[in-house]
Structure 1
Amino acid sequence: MTNVFLAPVDAPNFEDSIRTPIDLDAIEDRPEALNSTDRVRLWGTPPGTRNRSNFEKMQTGDVVLFCEGDSYVGSGRVETTFEDDEGWASANVWDDSESTLLYTLSDFRAVSVPRSAVNRIFEYSDSYSPQGLMRVADGKVSNDPAAIELALEQYSEKHG
């Protein structure tokens, strides 16, 4: 079964590493997990018990929905996951980020959907906001994740 994750974002880092893929040819000493690609969309979460537990459940093909403020601003599919114990991403991609549990994404789609609308899909309160990497419980994912992605995209097109 495909997992669905919710992840908070901050604008500058999200813009620099998700909306715009990172050109790895311009960065030296990249992690081994990134050796097979020249451009990558990369995100991560800081270490912590709950973040680690959710990160360890991530699998290739899982869906990540990105929340910024009162809106969901994108979705993507997990490609690879790896730990950045050396702080490579903080030093080369983001400004002093504490995120060391990293994942790359494929099939990124920019969307603009009110947080409350997405929350209703998963039966969360309208005001719920993910604090760190959150895995949506299996019982709350009643639609195929591809259908969820399509619904977000269609909402964005209709209301964007």
Structure 2
Amino acid sequence: MSIQVGDSLPDVEIRTIGAEIAQTQTGPLFAGRKVVMFAVPGAFTPTCSNRHLPGYVQHFAEFQARGIEVMCLAVNDAYVMQAWASSQQVPHALLMLADGNGAFTRALGLELDGSAYGMGLRAKRFALYAENGVVKQLQVEAPGEFRVSTAEAMLEAIG
């Protein structure tokens, strides 16, 4: 079963990519913060690289002005996420989350089987808004869609 509005985010080990790569737990990462976390099926993939991540980079200051931190999640290793962030000119304060083994994605119940495309386990395309680790908004895309998890959609949903 996937995470729902009102649920607490699971506490799982993950790698963060900001100015450097670090290992942390998701519990403390989300504690005491307002966060929009969006997930992509894969770094360097077309929609993710051409539209999803760039939209959050473009609107990053709007989230910051509302006191909301932004995080990008993908089931990729930390070095791929670091290279992707660099190639996309992601600000260091927009935290990239490398869920290399998919543990956090599975704990959220938002995994996608990309085996038919040679991608293995991935995250569904989604975005959530959490306050102090509790989900307040959750937008999961239908397969092949890119509508409800955009930066613009999340800014509107949060109000």
TM-score range, shorter chain: 0.3 to 0.5
Q: What is the TM-score with the length of structure 1 in the denominator?
A: 0.37
Q: What is the TM-score with the length of structure 2 in the denominator?
A: 0.37
